[in-house]
Structure 1
Amino acid sequence: MRPLRQGAHVYRSNMKPYLHELRLTEFKTFRDATLPLGGMTALIGRNSSGKSNALDGLEVLSRLAAGTDIVDALDSRRGDEGPLRGGIEGCPPHGTDRFSLGCTVFPLRSEPSSYWIVQFDVTIQVRPEPEIVSETLWGISGHKRSTKNWLERFRHKLLATESASPGSGSIDATWYTGRPGRSPRAPFRSSRLLTSQLALRLEGRNERERAVLTAAEDMLEALRGVFHLDPVPHLMRQYVPGRDIRLRRTAENLSAVIGHMATHDTERFRQLLTRVQNLVEHEVTGIEAVRSDLNDVMLALREGPAITPAREMSDGLLRFTAIATTLLRQGRDLDLGGRDTSDDGKSPMLVIEELENGLHPSQATQVLDLVKQATVDNSARVIFTTHSPALLSALSSEDHKNVVVCSRDRATGLSNLRTLPEIDGYPSLMAQGDLGTIITSGLLEQAPPRERDFSEFDRLMGIG
């Protein structure tokens, strides 16, 4: 997103806008599904149930929030991200040529004129040329609007498309001014999010315009902070420039990141060493960044008098070290590609698929503890997928409200999302054992409908 024009002003604060939910309105295997996003969200389900599709929806919005063209954002092979899984053509549900996504952001601002909740929805047509055919930005605040519809008095339509001219590269839209009957209308480029273009239309000359600009920036900021961590062990076994200290999604520059931690963030570096020591059976006395004559670095473990470089470490150890480093730093100093933002108190959303991959079941508690530590005080937000019974069993009953079960309807082929406590027969299931045991036995898919009042059990479990 381009900076505001000279003279424009947007309210800023040290609060952290964050994603509250993702709406998969029409996307891949989803229709009218909602993924709630807590401080820690565990997404579970069988293979091919739609978990990766849901995370792809989050990735799509995050890439588009950078303000780049749709094709460049989703199909480009440049940079670490590469093309989206399945590309643009893989986004619409089967038999359609368009897809729709949305999200809700909580800006957490204290100014009386600011919006408490920001909602965003977009529909993109992929053929013949990818372009936006509908986009809406809503804001909910204490600023009352004059309207006969009382439901809309505090809900303002900040931006809305009016008409599209397919193939023209343009789409008309209006924006909110706070004055009845005074909504300006102008053409926007249909090849990128209109919300990212608002700063070119509004100069922030009055309180309402500034509030609209702030709401748009809060939404874009929250989406740009999504970071999909996908450590690739074989890429971590090479020397990397010592200055390359913003962690990439593949963690290929992990050696430089840890080398920087050793001198600039000694407390977290010490915690990382402890975590690694607890992970392995043999004695590890230190973590080092071995430097070449050109100031390139490679991660190494000191094991008594011997040194084991990254090229000799196991895949599981390297992957765990990358995840632990990211979580201990609470998602700071990430390489977000074209979505880079400064670390000025923002709350990143870390996405980690198969969190337990490469780890022994006995380490489930340790990695879960790292996730919880990262999300303390909303410092970061983490969504992860897992198939590990040990990790699921390590979740407390309080954590269950943040477990989202993804399933797929055999008749329609559509994916569904429900929080664990919403599953029919949840209390009776929990009475049969821990979550890992229930998942392993297949009881979750066979959950019976509720026939009795389990409210007292819910209260005892702390989920009432």
Structure 2
Amino acid sequence: MNMTSARPAVTELRLSAFKSHRGASFALGPLTLLAGASGPRKSSVLEALTALGRLAGGETLGAVFDGTGGPEGREEAGCVRGGAAACVPQGAQPDTEGRRGFRIGCTVTGPVGPVRLDVAVQAEPELRIVGERLTGAGETLLTTALRDPGRRTVQAAWHTAGLVPVTRAPLPDDLLATALLPLRVAGRTEGQRLVLAAVEQLVMALRGVFPVAPRPDAMRAPVDTRDGMLRSGCENLSAVLARTEGECRTRHAALVRAMRAVCSPPVDGLTVLRSRLAGTDRGPTLEAVIAAVDRGPLGLVPVDRLGDGELRFLAMALVLLTGPGVLEVDTSAELLPAAQVLTVLSDGLDLGLDRRQARELLALAGMAAERGHIRLLGVVHDASVAEGLGGVSVIDFVPSRRPGNAEPGEAEVEAVAGAGAGAASGAGAGAGERVPTRSAPTMR
């Protein structure tokens, strides 16, 4: 094993059978843009990676895809529009027992080398993982299979390379088996240590996936000063700006320079104004802040007076310039921030921005990627915003070649059928195979 490689990072996403994708594979660089006409195909790429990240964090299938079955029975927001049923590829036919499903996977590159994870999920009639495969260092490290549909477990087998070459045990069918292995593997043999190293690498990278969707309407109110971990909607942006102003002058100065480059002058700085929030249940009032732009002779202008585009730019720039320790993402507590990589997902990176603002964001993303702590996968409507910017990979989604609303070809249906219970004996087998697709992305 090469234990001196770079920090673990997701370098490939595979949608073997997911929504409108069949046999699709996407190479992910430090800064990757998905471009093309409006449609669900680009967004579904981000949804699949978000789902893998949440599964790696230990969430149940129901919580991830349908927003049900969260901790202590709490209802949580799912990360896929339409839920698990919408993940079944279009045109997929159920098997003789009425089962349909989907398949997704990824590759994480790091100290162990490339580690591949492929997962087959049954969406109907019951949501469950029916097959999982983890491979790395030339070995099959883990496989799971649904042996008895009447039980809510899968049969797992993982690499041991000791007196017993493989260890077998039942595991829950609503959790990612890979994420459970550290609790099951003792690490006594070289094979077990390889499994643990590969699992750590994969889970570390996937838990660093951070989908961001700034909500300008929610950023205009004062925020509790203690709310200093930036959330996906960036509604607590003001409290996070208070942190950056006081804790990291260098990054805060870079944020000011970025705002100065794209906002109406003058922009002398970014700061916060103190405020108070009424307590709840007769509790005490709370110390609060609201961000403001220092316009020099014009005074301080609170962010509630900024336009949506300026607020979206400020939020995205803050995400790209902060990284581990500031974004609300469940990375490993044992890992130092200097060793972590966060993969920021932005669906509509240029939404509401003019060309100058979009290019400035991409320039900031390039700077963050060079530092090695941030990677970006974003959806843009106009790929030309990346022209002349180095280090940007653009994946164009070209229009469908199939006329009208023709049904998928036979090869497509066969690929989808394998995402159901028939894929239980090997989720990774055939993952990423090239079959006809409705719309083929091209790399440039």
TM-score by length of 1: 0.78
Deviation at 1:383, TM superposition (A): 1.1
Deviation at 1:268, TM superposition (A): 0.9
Deviation at 1:119, TM superposition (A): 0.7
State how 1:156-175 maps to structure 2 within 5 Å: 156-175=139-158
When the two structures are aligned, how many residues end up with a matched partner? 386
| CA distances 1:415-440 after superposition (whole Å, capped 9, x unpaired) | 322212xxxxxxxxxxxxxxxxxxxx
Partner of 1:290: 273
Confirm whether residue 281 of structure 1 aligns to residue 264 of structure 2: yes
State how 1:119-138 maps to structure 2 within 5 Å: 119-138=116-135
Instruction: Determine which of 12, 16, 36 is the counterpart of 1:21.
Output: 12
Aligned residue for 2:151, secondary structure, equals coil
Amino acid at match of 2:373: S
Instruction: Determine which of 346, 363, 372 is the counterpart of 1:369.
Output: 363
Deviation at 1:310, TM superposition (A): 1.7
Deviation at 1:242, TM superposition (A): 0.8
Contact (CA 8 Å) 2:101, 2:123: kept in 1 or not?
yes
Cα distance in 2 between the residues matched to 1:410 and 1:271:
45
| CA distances 1:367-388 after superposition (whole Å, capped 9, x unpaired) | 2211100100422111111123
Partner of 1:387: 381
| CA distances 1:105-133 after superposition (whole Å, capped 9, x unpaired) | 112x2xxxxx3221110100012221111
Partner of 1:98: 101
Contact (CA 8 Å) 2:211, 2:232: kept in 1 or not?
yes
Cα distance in 2 between the residues matched to 1:106 and 1:22:
12
Partner of 1:302: 294
Cα distance in 2 between the residues matched to 1:72 and 1:251:
22
Residues 56/167 of structure 1: CA separation in 2 closer, same or farther (3 Å cut): farther
- Structure 1 range deviating more: 31-40 or 47-56: 47-56
Contact (CA 8 Å) 1:230, 1:251: kept in 2 or not?
yes
Q: Which runs of 5+ in 2 are unaligned?
A: 69-73, 94-99, 277-285, 403-407, 409-436
- Structure 1 range deviating more: 251-260 or 12-21: 12-21
Partner of 2:45: 54
Contact (CA 8 Å) 2:142, 2:157: kept in 1 or not?
yes
Confirm whether residue 352 of structure 1 aligns to residue 343 of structure 2: no
| CA distances 1:71-107 after superposition (whole Å, capped 9, x unpaired) | 0122217788554211111111123520001111112
Cα distance in 2 between the residues matched to 1:223 and 1:17:
9
Partner of 1:324: 317
Contact (CA 8 Å) 1:204, 1:210: kept in 2 or not?
yes
TM-score by length of 2: 0.81
Contact (CA 8 Å) 1:241, 1:256: kept in 2 or not?
yes
Contact (CA 8 Å) 1:49, 1:408: kept in 2 or not?
no
| CA distances 1:37-88 after superposition (whole Å, capped 9, x unpaired) | 0011111111126111111111111111111210012221778855421111
Cα distance in 1 between the residues matched to 2:150 and 2:218:
42
Deviation at 1:284, TM superposition (A): 2.0
State how 1:215-234 maps to structure 2 within 5 Å: 215-234=198-217
Cα distance in 2 between the residues matched to 1:334 and 1:79:
23
Partner of 1:4: none
Deviation at 1:248, TM superposition (A): 0.5
Deviation at 1:332, TM superposition (A): 4.7
Contact (CA 8 Å) 2:7, 2:341: kept in 1 or not?
yes
- Structure 1 range deviating more: 211-220 or 314-323: 211-220
Partner of 1:315: 308
Cα distance in 1 between the residues matched to 2:272 and 2:208:
28
| CA distances 1:214-253 after superposition (whole Å, capped 9, x unpaired) | 2112111111111111100011011111121111010001
Cα distance in 1 between the residues matched to 2:103 and 2:81:
17
Partner of 2:181: 198
Contact (CA 8 Å) 2:214, 2:234: kept in 1 or not?
yes
Instruction: Determine which of 84, 89, 97 is the counterpart of 2:80.
Output: 84
Partner of 1:438: none
Cα distance in 2 between the residues matched to 1:385 and 1:56:
12
Amino acid at match of 2:108: V
Cα distance in 2 between the residues matched to 1:330 and 1:391:
24
Q: Which runs of 5+ in 1 are unaligned?
A: 1-10, 110-114, 141-154, 421-464
Cα distance in 2 between the residues matched to 1:320 and 1:176:
47
Partner of 1:335: 328
Deviation at 1:414, TM superposition (A): 2.5
Partner of 2:60: 69
Contact (CA 8 Å) 2:35, 2:382: kept in 1 or not?
no
| CA-atom RMSD in angstroms | 2.3
Instruction: Determine which of 229, 233, 255 is the counterpart of 1:246.
Output: 229
Residues 44/82 of structure 1: CA separation in 2 closer, same or farther (3 Å cut): same
Cα distance in 2 between the residues matched to 1:199 and 1:331:
23
State how 1:253-268 maps to structure 2 within 5 Å: 253-268=236-251
Aligned residue for 2:140, secondary structure, equals strand
Contact (CA 8 Å) 1:129, 1:167: kept in 2 or not?
no
Partner of 1:418: 442
Cα distance in 1 between the residues matched to 2:77 and 2:58:
16
Cα distance in 1 between the residues matched to 2:252 and 2:387:
29
Q: Which has the higher contact order (CA 8 A, sep 6+)?
A: 2
Residues 49/169 of structure 1: CA separation in 2 closer, same or farther (3 Å cut): closer
